[in-house]
Structure 1
Amino acid sequence: MGNLHETLGINDLKSKNTLWKALLAEFLANVLLNFFGCASCVSATGKPTSFVLIALTFGLVIFILVQTLGHVSGAHINPAVTAGMMSVGNISIVKGILYIIVQCLGSLAGSSVLKALTPEPLHSTGLGNTQLQDDFTPVQGFGVEFFLGFVLVLVVCGVCDPNRPEAKPAAALAIGMAVGVGHLATVDFTGSSMNPARSFGSALIANDWDDHWVYWVGPVLGGIAAALIYKHAFSAPSLGPLKIIERYTTTADEKELKRLDVNRRDENLP
């Protein structure tokens, strides 16, 4: 029974203070993602929105949120990331499900705020709702979103690998760049969702559910595939505490140690 509780994550519910902070962080992160990210898709001037602007906005928002809230919840901000982490046991099932629920609620709240703060004539643009472009079939859209989820979770796994401490300082930037690259490459194909919750909030506000399954099945399966491949094929080997310390030893540290050693020898001279 104890193992079952551990696997499901029932014990996580006992640490209510920590859990609620994490859930609040995931909720707030998705509010901000859908507000700022989807706002970049709306043009108040009537001119077409620049794809570069959209890519930079989503990438920078993710960079900011991961850097700010990563220590609270891990800053998944995406059911595809959460599903990938669940598949390799990095987060419990119960906690993962709660994460996905609040991510969807946060995205809905963010899109709702965006709708409330924009003039009604702009609502016809869909307020950032992701849609397949003309001539793209649902299967093709699924493939695009699969690889978007795949590359995002692969980067997350790589920079958050506990045996690669040197990657941690650049983790938020790398994740934000992965989101930016995904948008630059495919925003004209599927809207480059990468994030089922982000698409859910926009779709509900726009009341447009055409091919919506693409934006859930694609990124989630891509995220799970990336997490499993990374864990079983690419995980960095454990270096042990001494090796990790050595990895962080810099040339300046070595010079300082040598200087102190010379000073000690000089002090011992008659």
Structure 2
Amino acid sequence: MAAERRGNAYVVMPLDRVTDSGGMTMSEFTNNDATIKVEEGKDTDSNGSKTDVGRYLEVFGAELVGTGVLLCIGCASCIAGDDDKPITDFHSALTFGFTVSTIICIFGHISAAHLNPAVTVAFYVLGHINVPMMLVYFIAQIMGAIMGVGVLVLLTPEGWIKSDMCVTQPHDNLTGYQAAGIEFVATMALIFLVCGLSDPRCAARQDSVPLKFAALLIALSLAVGKYTGASLNPVRSLGPAIWTGNWNQHWVYWVSPLSAGIVTPLFYTTCFLRGGQS
């Protein structure tokens, strides 16, 4: 049971402390504060654990591929095809939600499958990663998003690519500030889930983590998709914007999610964690 729980605890693992021999739950981590010592020119320490360089490469690869797969599959659901039938919010919500849950199953034990700079910022605020690791996440996620949409464009017939393919933009009746508020609140809900699963008191409730994220993302997409496209993720909006050249109110999809990634964990740790300990 203990080994199985460690394998599933991919959301609560402080990644700068995870070795290549397996993960640990947050409660196990707080009782075993051993760190990995880095020897220059080597990618493992004397105990065979991954050093900083090895961890950076693992995380970079997992986030690059994971984010690329998310954008490629997710944005494919936004393409109508020959019959040009309208794409419903339900269609895209299911695709993005279940794609995220599957990627968590694949890469969760390697990088915690952030796939989203807002989640990465939250992990930093919670104290689970340091600045260099945060930058590794950011670079991998940005590159992955651009590459993922690029692969989709390359494999899709030219006539199917529209000027607003998979682009998130506010409804015409919304002001930029209204859209920013909606994205902020929706991303807060996502980050609250991250904070809750990172809470030491939740260490024994990790078995259905992928489905929890799928359910929340589907619900949020259905709720706010008609307002802003339900991005909740800067790079999810960046990839399509780069390939279509559509930058309408693009600032909303960076300012709001990243702000929520900072504010939400601060609120959670202040109000809900005993003694402010993460």
After TM superposition, the structure 1 = structure 2 runs for residues 64-143 of structure 1, keeping only pairs within 5 Å, are: 64-143=102-181
Query: For residue 16 of structure 1, what is the aligned residue in structure 2?
Result: 53
Give a deviation string over 1:5-57, Cα, whole Å, max 9, x none: x9xxxx88952122201110011111011011111111112111011111111
Asked which structure has the greater CA Rg, the reply is 1
Q: Distance in 1 between matches of 2:194 and 2:143?
A: 23
1:184 Cα deviation (Å)? 0.6
Query: For residue 6 of structure 2, what is the aligned residue in structure 1?
Result: none
Q: Are positions 1:154 and 2:192 aligned together? A: yes
Structure 1 residue corresponding to 2:268, chosen from 230, 245, 258 = 230
Query: For residue 68 of structure 2, what is the aligned residue in structure 1?
Result: 31
After TM superposition, the structure 1 = structure 2 runs for residues 193-204 of structure 1, keeping only pairs within 5 Å, are: 193-204=231-242
Structure 1 residue corresponding to 2:245, chosen from 183, 203, 207 = 207
Q: Distance in 2 between matches of 1:133 and 1:47?
A: 20
Give a deviation string over 1:171-210, Cα, whole Å, max 9, x none: 2211122211111111111111011011111110111112
The farther-off stretch of 118-127 and 34-43 is 118-127
Return structure 1 stretches of 4+ with deviation > 6 angstroms. none
Give a deviation string over 1:55-102, Cα, whole Å, max 9, x none: 111110111111221110111110010111112222111111220111
Q: Distance in 2 between matches of 1:229 and 1:171?
A: 22
RMSD: 2.0
Query: For residue 42 of structure 1, what is the aligned residue in structure 2?
Result: 79
1:219 Cα deviation (Å)? 0.8
Q: Distance in 1 between matches of 2:224 and 2:249?
A: 17
| Matched residue count | 229
Indicate if the aligned counterparts of 1:30 and 1:77 stay in contact, CA closer than 8 A: yes
Instruction: Look up the SS of the partner of 1:163 in the other structure.
Output: helix
TM-score (norm 2): 0.78
Task: Give the percent of matched residue pairs that are identical in Structure 1 and Structure 2.
Answer: 34
Of Structure 1 and Structure 2, which has the larger fraction of its residues in helix? 1
Indicate if the aligned counterparts of 2:62 and 2:113 stay in contact, CA closer than 8 A: yes
Structure 2 residue identity aligned to 1:212: H
Structure 2 residue identity aligned to 1:52: F
TM-score (norm 1): 0.80
Instruction: Look up the SS of the partner of 1:131 in the other structure.
Output: coil
